[in-house]
Structure 1
Amino acid sequence: MGIDFDGNKPIYQQLINRISSEIIRGHRAVGGKLPSVREYALEAGVNANTVQRVYRELENMEIVETKRGQGTFVTCNLNRLSDLREGMKLEFIQQFIRDMNDMGYSTEEMIEGIKSEGRGSK
């Protein structure tokens, strides 16, 4: 099985982003249990040490909480999850703007493209 990873970014960072996105989209419930380190390592096709680092980083970011003997759970702190959502939105917007600027698009062209695409996706 496994996940297709981008060779230009560290795997642990991609997994952090993946789990964070799953939480934001509601695919991982608030207060819900994450798979064990071994289970997630098998699912993702990575070393268990990588997943251990991912869970540790997510815990440092206060996105998950580890309960000794029980496992790792998505935080119930809705303010923290709201901050996570806003932070990820900002990151994606900033990356989009950098990429579009690198290709020579003006702010006006970006806005018009977003408006046009947004009308078509409703």
Structure 2
Amino acid sequence: MNFEFDNNLPIYIQLVEQLKMYIISGRIKPGERLPSVRDLALQSKVNPNTMQKALTELEDVGLIYTERTNGKFVTIDKKLIEKYKKEYAKELSDRYFLSMNNIGYNNKEAIEYLEKLGGDN
């Protein structure tokens, strides 16, 4: 896994979002075992406590779960993963339409613009 950070947001929030992206995109598969907290912290070059905080948040929303002696795993609940995928798609769409509205396009024109670019791919 490759992690990138922005100095304007707390690291653990960025970890949550990036790990969530790995899950909803399918780069980490449902039921797949995650590396240990220490290994993830080393990969991302963050403190293990920061990584644990991010993983706890993902566990709180059900995207990962812990098996006491086996480690942490991605949920096998594909409906939950799809729910988060749709939420993220809505966020992206909302940002797109807001940006297009800010430069003078209405929503219909913004859709037409995407269609001209081949947005149905």
Q: TM-score, normalised by structure 1?
A: 0.85
Shift of 1:59: 0.5
Shift of 1:98: 2.5
The equivalent of 2:27 in structure 1 is 27
CA offsets 1:64-85 (integer angstroms, 9 cap, x no match): 0011121110001122112111
CA distance in 2, matches of 1:96, 1:14: 21
CA offsets 1:44-64 (integer angstroms, 9 cap, x no match): 111111110111000011000
1:110 aligns with 2:110: yes
Instruction: Give the % identical residues.
Output: 35
The equivalent of 1:97 in structure 2 is 97
Q: TM-score, normalised by structure 2?
A: 0.86
**Do the aligned partners of 2:33 and 2:72 also contact (CA within 8 Å) in 1?**
yes
CA distance in 2, matches of 1:10, 1:101: 29
CA offsets 1:1-30 (integer angstroms, 9 cap, x no match): x73312222222221121111112211111
CA distance in 1, matches of 2:85, 2:3: 23
The 5 Å alignment of 1:59-70 reads 59-70=59-70
The equivalent of 1:76 in structure 2 is 76
SS in 1 for 2:65: strand
Amino acid aligned to 1:67 = E
Query: Number of residues paired by the alignment?
Result: 120
1:4 aligns with 2:4: yes
CA distance in 2, matches of 1:113, 1:14: 31
The equivalent of 2:86 in structure 1 is 86
The equivalent of 1:36 in structure 2 is 36
SS in 2 for 1:118: coil
Give the alignment's Cα RMSD to 1 decimal: 1.9
Shift of 1:94: 1.7
Shift of 1:95: 2.1
Q: Give unpaired runs (5+ residues) of structure 1.
A: none
With over 3 angstroms needed to count, the CA separation of the structure-2 counterparts of 1:108 and 1:28, relative to structure 1, is same
Q: Give unpaired runs (5+ residues) of structure 2.
A: none
